[in-house]
Amino acid sequence: MKKQGRQNAVVSSRKNKYRRGLSGLALIALSTGCANQSISVLDPAGPVGREQLSLIKLSTGIMTFVVLVVAILYLYVVIRYRERPGQENDQIPEQVEGNKKLEVLWTVVPILLLVILAIPTIATTFHQAKKPEEANTVRVHVTAYQYWWAFDYPELDITTANEVHIPVGRPIELMMKSHDVIHAFWVPSLGGKQDVNPGRTDRLVLQADKPGIFEGKCTELCGASHALMNFRVIAHPAKEFDQWVASQKNPVSTPTTKTGTDGQKWVGQNCIGCHAIENAGYRIKGKTGPNLTAFSKRTRIAGVLDNNEQNLKAWLKDTQGIKPGNRMPAFDHLTNEQIDAITQYLLQLK
Amino acid sequence: MATLVILIVVALFLTAILTGGYNERYLERVRQNWLWEWITTVDHKKIGILYLMAGGFFFTVGGLEALLIRIQLMFPNGKFIIGDTFNQLLSMHGTTMIFLVSLPLLFGLMNVIVPLQIGARDVAFPFINSLGFWLYFVGGLTLNLSWIFGGAPDAGWTSYATLALNEFSPGPGVNYYVLGLQIAGFGTLMSGINFLVTIINMRAPGMSYLRMPLFTWTSFVTSALILFAFPPLTAGMFMMMFDRLFETSFFATSGGGNSVIWQHIFWIFGHPEVYILVLPAFGVFSDVISTFSRKRLFGYHSMVFAVVLIGFLGFMVWVHHMFTVGLGAIANTIFAIATMAIAVPTGIKVFNWLFTMWGGRIRFTTAMLFAAGFIVVFVMGGVTGVMLSVVPADLQFHDSYFVVAHFHYVLIGGTILGFFAGLYYWWPKIFGSLLDEKWGRWHFWIFYLGMHLTFFPQHFLGLFGMPRRVFTYEAGYNLEMNNLLSSLGAFLMTAGMLIFLFNVVRTLTKGKKAPGDPWDGRSLEWSIPSPPPVYNFLQTPKVRGLDPWWLEKREGNDQMPVAEPLGPIHMPSPNHLPFLMSLSFFVSGIGFVFHSLAVGFMGLVGVVITLYMRSFEEDHGYHLIPEELEKEAKS
């Protein structure tokens, strides 16, 4: 798999920001090389993630202080009071019972440190639990399936899968349901994290401050391909987002080539029981697999492969090898021509 | 079922042919076999050794699982072990290390040492002690048989419903987990109760609560935690078993159940479990640090207070494992604050340990190296624990590698280093020989560096966005270097363990014989020979203060004052019923794993029969006559 985000124009500006973010975290700066950071918690791209990062910094600061105090005391004690050769038969050290003042000191100081930590913790927790302003909010319904994500925009009447497009600068209210087991929704750069429990609706509000592709992951063990249950949040400036919405509402699903037309037929015979493609002339549309409308605009296949012809063919022939345990059978009974046709058709869906 | 009946009949015939019907001499030969002696033993020291051996065996298994996991994650897009097989490895690694390794190893030390430290001849219920061990052992066996019969549990050591239910984990996998842990859990609960009663009732005269060594104190609090934490686990396991075997819907959302309830029940057990594992280690460190600093423990009273407080608070914080479930801001903050509160007593302990060493004369034996190494690791693991309690920050940390790093720092730093400190410290008392110090040092340094190399980079993996329990990660997200370091660390830890094994084998074959008090010890166990005679104390000692043996030595006495005249010593008889009873549980467990109710209930009938036999057994043990013992000692 290629290093996808590198070509991204956003990355270079983000890298600078990342460096600035790090200045407070000397500990961490020591151990990192520099590479693509687009899934890092340390590189937030929205208010939620930023507030969380500032708490991470505050707690790291306090805790580093504690570790340093203990470490200095420890090193002093270990070096100063070690038994040196020849001391074996010296006098026994004085048997001290304790020291009330010292013991009170190391009870009270930690309590104070914890109070300093607890106040912003409580404040941020309640602040982040607040509902965003209704009018400005974009609502997205999320359904988690074993190893893929469905995204519906109830107010816009759009459905997509594994990639959710959002406008920059507006709060996104995610209403999440699970189709099967417990999953968890995590976009490290925007802020985390919410379990998606079967039998109830869970809620998470995120916001992106700048355009870019933000990687998302499932973080609750959900079965064989838990590791591969990736998705992407793609943030656009307001205008671009409106364009995307318009294009999704009127998708181009008519093939332009002869092979494409063949492909449309084979898709109808093989895929449409599970997948749906809008505007493509199919009367029955499956709902158990990801919606494939405007498939060519997706950056990835199944959340794990870059979207190109070669990968798509590989996916059709060996779904289990690429994503073990997923619900899509391998379509290795199709001839190469049929696979070619299906691939071409899918890559013409705009 | 028919096959089973035939098998049983054949087995009975074979037994009849071999024994000649009922052959007294054959039975006599069995009774004199060394294996039979170990199977039927009710001596707390031998049971302790059994715990150590079984724990060591499972440690090897769990360690190999960990190594395979790290090999798969060494490079991005690895293809060595993926999908469900990887999930089986990680589930079994977690389950094994928590239930079959950490706890039994500490139980091993507790079994041998606690009665000696309080000046008792035995535990309160020797029969139950043996039963506790065998139940734990067959429970562990049930779990690990899943590797042989195929389909090990693969829903994580937490086995969250709904993933762990039939609908999404068909096959026997999770059944092994549910039944193995139930059986092992019974054993643990029994041992816990046994230790509680032993420590309350069997202390030597003068050994008041505030004169007990810290290891006994922590064992006491741990046992109390077991008493309150294991019943919820058993209840949860039963409900899960009913959901899986009899299609009830406690947790199955499709039938109107609630999967979040499982998480509550599991963590109401699971959080105290962490303290069950780490408190005895605190006790070991307290004893080891004071012995090798040649000082009494600094702030003994505040140490005891801190242990009890940690035990209490341990029950108040389970929701911090569930901040992302969506329980609401109020619940989350309440549990966040309770969690932060635990840092206070823990801090008290750390500073008390430092000031015990302050002004002392520290001898860096291997045991002390492990104890000193622990302080660093544990402080690091502890502070990341506080960081995890900061709710909004935890929403980022949760289920990421940061958490993996945190709990390995706590559990290896606390429990495993604690176990090794205790093992090097008490090895002469348990086995009567001294572990080699030079190899011990190699073991410590390689294992210790390996541990840091494995788990320190995992903090960054979490912050860089790597979720836990994933079998692979993509290249290009800055995860490669830290994963590689972490895997290399795992190899280093393995090397450390191999050195330890070598040391053990060497010591057992040609170790130096240990004197009764090789370390200039402070508590009662050092006042008797190594290894202790079967009756521990010829005469019950009289305790005159904290660190009783140290006190007597400073006053120039070379043995403890006695609290009773020399007289016959009562000993319990060996008994084979605990083994048979556990075997019946094992049969029953395996039956239920494979949905064979007939075999399952047949095993339970076996349990009832052995219970019946035990109830009407008239064996009051035997007496050792001191004159004969002395004669024996002379010859």
Strand pairing of A231-236 and A163-167?
parallel
Taking residues B49-67, report their average pLDDT.
96
What is the reported pLDDT for A63? Answer: 94
Candidates A6, A36, A95: best to mutate against B (most CBs of B within 10 A) is A95
In a domain, A244, yes or no: no
pLDDT at position B242 over 50: yes
Q: Is B343–A114 a contact, with Cβ atoms under 8 angstroms apart?
A: yes
What is the reported pLDDT for B633? Answer: 67
Q: In which band, very low, low, confident or very high, does the pLDDT at A149 lie, cut at 50, 70 and 90?
A: very high
In a domain, A275, yes or no: yes
Q: Based on the domain organization, do A203 and A71 belong to the same domain?
A: yes
> What's the CA gap between A252 and A263, in Å, rounded?
15
Residue A34 vs residue B459, higher pLDDT: B459
Query: Distance (Å) from the C-alpha of residue A114 to the closest C-alpha of chain B?
Result: 7
Q: Based on the domain organization, do A62 and A196 belong to the same domain?
A: yes
pLDDT at position B318 over 80: yes
In a domain, A166, yes or no: yes
Q: Could you tell me if B364 and A37 are in contact, meaning their C-beta atoms sit under 8 angstroms apart? A: no
Q: Name the amino acid, one letter, at B417.
A: L
Q: Based on the domain organization, do A191 and A45 belong to the same domain?
A: yes
> How many angstroms separate the Cα of B588 from the Cα of each of A141, A254, B42, B373, B591?
47, 63, 24, 44, 5
Query: Distance (Å) from the C-alpha of residue B463 to the closest C-alpha of chain A?
Result: 5
Residue B240 vs residue A330, higher pLDDT: B240
Decide which of A191, A206, A236 is a domain's last residue: A236
Backbone angles phi, psi at B554, to 5 degrees: -65, -25
Q: Based on the domain organization, do A170 and A303 belong to the same domain?
A: no
Q: Supply B425's token pair.
A: 């410290």
Q: Based on the domain organization, do A262 and A218 belong to the same domain?
A: no
Q: Is A224–B87 a contact, with Cβ atoms under 8 angstroms apart?
A: yes
Angle, vertex CA B423, rays to CA B421 and CA B425, nearest 5:
70
Taking residues B267-293, report their average pLDDT.
95
pLDDT at position A2 over 60: no
Query: Distance (Å) from the C-alpha of residue A122 to the closest C-alpha of chain B?
Result: 6
Query: Which residue is closest to B398 within chain A, CA to CA?
Result: A193
Q: What is the DSSP letter of A186?
A: E
Q: Is B332–A35 a contact, with Cβ atoms under 8 angstroms apart?
A: no
> What's the CA gap between B90 and B401, in Å, rounded?
14
Q: Which of B359, B393, B554 sits opposite A56 (nearest CB)?
A: B393
Per the DSSP assignment, residues forming a β-bridge with A192 are: A186
What is the reported pLDDT for A27? Answer: 35
Query: Distance (Å) from the C-alpha of residue B449 to the closest C-alpha of chain A?
Result: 17
> What's the CA gap between B108 and A46, in Å, rounded?
52
Decide which of A184, A205, A236 is a domain's last residue: A236
Q: In which band, very low, low, confident or very high, does the pLDDT at B69 lie, cut at 50, 70 and 90?
A: very high
Q: What percent of chain A has pLDDT over 90?
A: 70
Q: In which band, very low, low, confident or very high, does the pLDDT at A274 lie, cut at 50, 70 and 90?
A: very high
What is the reported pLDDT for B18? Answer: 67
Q: Is B301–A98 a contact, with Cβ atoms under 8 angstroms apart?
A: yes
Q: Based on the domain organization, do A298 and A167 belong to the same domain?
A: no
In a domain, A179, yes or no: yes
Element (DSSP H or E) covering residue B43: none
Of B50, B147, B142, nearest to B89 by C-alpha is B147
Taking residues B136-163, report their average pLDDT.
93
| Inter-chain contacts counted by CB atoms under 8 A, chains A and B | 286
Q: In which band, very low, low, confident or very high, does the pLDDT at A20 lie, cut at 50, 70 and 90?
A: very low
Element (DSSP H or E) covering residue A301: strand A300-301
Q: Which of B298, B340, B361 sits opposite A96 (nearest CB)?
A: B298
Q: Could you tell me if A327 and A146 are in contact, meaning their C-beta atoms sit under 8 angstroms apart? A: yes
pLDDT tens digit string along A30-68? 333 333 446 889 989 999 999 999 999 999 999 999 999
Q: Is A99–B355 a contact, with Cβ atoms under 8 angstroms apart?
A: yes
Q: Could you tell me if A161 and A128 are in contact, meaning their C-beta atoms sit under 8 angstroms apart? A: no
User: What is the strand order of the sheet A172-178 is part of?
Assistant: A158-161, A148-153, A138-145, A172-178, A202-206
Of B390, B304, B408, nearest to B348 by C-alpha is B304
What is the reported pLDDT for A287? Answer: 87
Domains and CATH numbers, chain B: 33-575+619-634 (1.20.210.10)
Q: Supply B468's token pair.
A: 């836990």
Per the DSSP assignment, residues forming a β-bridge with A139 are: A173
Taking residues B285-301, report their average pLDDT.
94
In a domain, A8, yes or no: no
In a domain, A113, yes or no: yes
> What's the CA gap between B28 and B41, in Å, rounded?
16
pLDDT at position B512 over 90: no
CATH number of residue A205's parent domain: 2.60.40.420
Taking residues B302-308, report their average pLDDT.
95
Q: Based on the domain organization, do A228 and A322 belong to the same domain?
A: no
Q: Based on the domain organization, do A60 and A150 belong to the same domain?
A: yes
Q: Could you tell me if B290 and B522 are in contact, meaning their C-beta atoms sit under 8 angstroms apart? A: yes
In a domain, A232, yes or no: yes
Q: In which band, very low, low, confident or very high, does the pLDDT at B618 lie, cut at 50, 70 and 90?
A: confident
pLDDT at position A26 over 90: no
What is the reported pLDDT for B510? Answer: 84
pLDDT at position B141 over 60: yes
Q: In which band, very low, low, confident or very high, does the pLDDT at A14 lie, cut at 50, 70 and 90?
A: very low
Number of domains in chain A: 2
pTM of the prediction? 0.91
Q: In which band, very low, low, confident or very high, does the pLDDT at A10 lie, cut at 50, 70 and 90?
A: very low
Q: Based on the domain organization, do A127 and A176 belong to the same domain?
A: yes
Q: Could you tell me if B138 and B182 are in contact, meaning their C-beta atoms sit under 8 angstroms apart? A: no
Taking residues B92-109, report their average pLDDT.
95
Taking residues A204-223, report their average pLDDT.
93
Q: Supply B404's token pair.
A: 């993996």
Q: Based on the domain organization, do A130 and A213 belong to the same domain?
A: yes
Write the ipTM: 0.89
Q: Supply A205's token pair.
A: 């509000």
pLDDT at position A266 over 60: yes
In a domain, A248, yes or no: no
User: Which residues of chain B are within 8 Å of residue A223 when distances are taken between CB atoms?
Assistant: 84, 87, 163, 168
Q: Based on the domain organization, do A160 and A204 belong to the same domain?
A: yes
Decide which of A236, A268, A302 is a domain's last residue: A236
Taking residues B247-256, report their average pLDDT.
90
Q: In which band, very low, low, confident or very high, does the pLDDT at B418 lie, cut at 50, 70 and 90?
A: very high
User: Which residues of chain A are within 8 Å of residue B363 when distances are taken between CB atoms?
Assistant: 83
| pLDDT, averaged across chain B | 92
Q: Based on the domain organization, do A43 and A184 belong to the same domain?
A: yes
Taking residues B383-398, report their average pLDDT.
95
Per the DSSP assignment, residues forming a β-bridge with A142 are: A151, A176
Residue B612 exposed, middle or buried by CB count within 10 Å (0-12, 13-18, 19+): exposed
Burial letters B182-202, b for 16+ CB under 10 A, else e: bbbbbbbbbbbbbbbebbeeb
- The range of the structural domain enclosing residue A69 comes to 39-77+99-236
Q: Could you tell me if B290 and B297 are in contact, meaning their C-beta atoms sit under 8 angstroms apart? A: yes
Q: Name the amino acid, one letter, at B69.
A: I
